[in-house]
Structure 1
Amino acid sequence: MNNRRAGRSILLTSGLAIGLAVVAIPLYWVLVAATHSSQEIFDSPPPLLPGGDLLTNLNTLQNEAHFGRVVLNSLGIAGVYTLLAGTVCTLAGYGFATYRFRGREILFGALMLGLIVPAQITLVPLFRTMAELHWLNTYQAVVLPNLALPFGIFLMRQSMAGLPKELLDSGRIDGCGELRLFLRVALPPMRPALAALAIFLFLYQWNDFVWPLIVLRSDTAFTIPVALASLQGLDETDYGAILAGTAIAAVPMAVVFLALQRHFVSGLLAGAVKE
């Protein structure tokens, strides 16, 4: 028995070490490459230690892509989107989980069809809508179209399905209004699910490339993915600057995940098991 446990422990440790290497080695190389010029990056063998071109790459980012402004754009857009989309998804999930109304299951099923519809299908009608509203090259055109995200609504609906109905009914009997009932009774137990939703929404918007590329026209309005793509030229591409920008772009994602990771797994599993 002890030998079996030792063998399982060794296998588990080896698997974790391999997984860590698979994740850490590419990340380390991006950080190293961000300090080298494009010519040095393509040397054989490739550089494995930091170089001295980090400031040059950062200056290139700022001069050619207005990267300081771009980072602020991405932070603002992702932050506002997370707040608004989180509110919409939480309210919709609460409604589907706690209210009984005619056609509820049909409406929820239609909403879930959005999970299998390719996003590319909606690009043309969305673009025409933004053009008719004169919202092209504005931040609301990036933020507003995807507030009711089907996965976010599904996550919150499944999480709130476990709320005791007696708790909600007792609040109504005590004279608690529906909005206050939602804020004071339903939301506090949902902190793990809200943390998981916030991480997902922030990363979804932070990494979004196609839609901002379509609706944003000015280089001072770009988000990070669009700005980095604009550095790719037909004749020459400064990969050192691009990788430096990529390394910078990974920092907010890591901060958000580390700040909320304690609730992340439990939030994703909320509602998955019913007693």
Structure 2
Amino acid sequence: MRTERGLGENVRTALVYAVLIVIAVAMLIPFLWMLGTAFKSSSQVNAIPIIWLPWPLHFGNIVSAWTSVPFGRFFVNTFVVAIASTIGQIITSVLAGYAFARMRFRGKQVLFLLTLATLMIPFQVILIPTFLIIKHLGLVNTLWALILPNLATGFGVFLLRQFFLQIPTEMEEAATIDGAGRWRIMAQIMVPLARPAVATLSVFTFLWAWNSYLWPLIVLNSPTKMTIQVGLSYFQGAHVGEYNVIMAGSFLSLIPIVILFLITQRQLVAGIVAGAVKG
């Protein structure tokens, strides 16, 4: 019986791994095609069968993509928006998350439920009201129009609140006995202990800001203000049919994201798991 059970478990495990491998390969194929096409010549792009590993590598596609449009300006604009959004969201999420986790005040549960409700509303629903607010503030066609809506989200507040709930209250009580106030406790005890959650929020916020397309497309109309995703659309229109150059531009836009993921993947997983333990 034990042998049969062990054999059955091995078969199930093998099937699970097989399914996961198939899914992983299916997700990687478009990325691998993009990567290969970025270094192909024009004749290799339309070759049948598909050439997955082009040789020789045509690095001129990268140079052409970088120089044909102001890619450098697109990168700078996107970095400014992503970094400012990340810093702002960390500050607001830490403050609100700590308040919901530790402080007592009237209407706390109602406010927290309203915060969670924002996670269920697609951005497209509030797109027009948000645009009207930005317009009345005179921020259309500025990077502030991209930064301000990203300064606070329900996801960030929820993630930090869940993490703060796991920290023993005895540590705060001991600090209070030593004469520490709320701000000192939060800055010197709670925030350092919440580094995994802060790192996770930082990565997600940076990714959201970097990959944002619809909102920048609506509020920006000057090429000097474009972010990388809108710039790629503009770039694609200038290189219709040149798929190798278009894929080279897409490859350039992915480099910072891949580097960020490789550096922070451990903190990313740890923060997600830790933040979901206690409700």
Q: Does 1:142 align with 2:141?
A: no
Letter in 2 for 1:173: I
Distance 1:39 1:126, change over 3 A: farther
Unaligned runs of 5+ in 2: none
Q: Does 1:193 align with 2:197?
A: yes
Distance 1:233 1:248, change over 3 A: closer
Distance 1:197 1:235, change over 3 A: closer
The worse-fitting range, judged by mean Cα deviation, of 54-63 and 144-153 is: 54-63
Post-superposition offset of 1:5: 5.1
The aligned counterpart of 1:127 is 131
Letter in 2 for 1:250: L
Q: Does 1:175 align with 2:179?
A: yes
Q: Does 1:206 align with 2:190?
A: no
**8 Å contact kept, 2:100–2:112:** yes
Distance 1:103 1:56, change over 3 A: same
Aligned counterparts of 1:55 and 1:66: Cα–Cα separation in 2: 18
Q: How does 1:81-160 map to 2 (within 5 A)?
A: 81-160=85-164
The aligned counterpart of 1:246 is 250
Q: Does 1:23 align with 2:23?
A: no
Q: Percent identity?
A: 37
Q: Does 1:228 align with 2:235?
A: no
> Of residues 237, 262, 265 in structure 1, which corresponds to 2:266?
262
Distance 1:38 1:124, change over 3 A: farther
Q: How does 1:161-172 map to 2 (within 5 A)?
A: 161-172=165-176
**8 Å contact kept, 1:90–1:153:** yes
**8 Å contact kept, 1:32–1:51:** no
Aligned counterparts of 2:131 and 2:273: Cα–Cα separation in 1: 36
**8 Å contact kept, 2:36–2:53:** yes
**8 Å contact kept, 2:62–2:245:** yes
Could you list the per-position Cα deviations for residues 108-144 of structure 1 after superposition, in whole angstroms to 9, with x for gaps in the alignment?
A: 1112221122212322222222223222222121111
The TM-score normalised by the length of structure 1 is 0.89
Unaligned runs of 5+ in 1: none
Letter in 2 for 1:206: W
Q: Alpha carbon RMSD of aligned pairs, Å? A: 2.4
Aligned counterparts of 2:221 and 2:68: Cα–Cα separation in 1: 15
The aligned counterpart of 1:215 is 219
Aligned counterparts of 1:59 and 1:149: Cα–Cα separation in 2: 38
Distance 1:53 1:255, change over 3 A: closer
**8 Å contact kept, 1:159–1:193:** yes
**8 Å contact kept, 1:93–1:157:** yes
**8 Å contact kept, 2:88–2:152:** no
Letter in 2 for 1:116: M
Counterpart of 1:182 in 2: which secondary structure?
helix
The TM-score normalised by the length of structure 2 is 0.88
Post-superposition offset of 1:249: 1.7
**8 Å contact kept, 1:65–1:219:** no
Q: How does 1:9-48 map to 2 (within 5 A)?
A: 9-36=13-40, 40-48=44-52
Q: Does 1:57 align with 2:61?
A: yes
Post-superposition offset of 1:39: 6.1
Aligned counterparts of 2:71 and 2:58: Cα–Cα separation in 1: 14
**8 Å contact kept, 2:200–2:272:** yes
The worse-fitting range, judged by mean Cα deviation, of 92-101 and 191-200 is: 191-200
The worse-fitting range, judged by mean Cα deviation, of 73-82 and 150-159 is: 73-82
Q: Does 1:184 align with 2:188?
A: yes
Counterpart of 2:105 in 1: which secondary structure?
coil
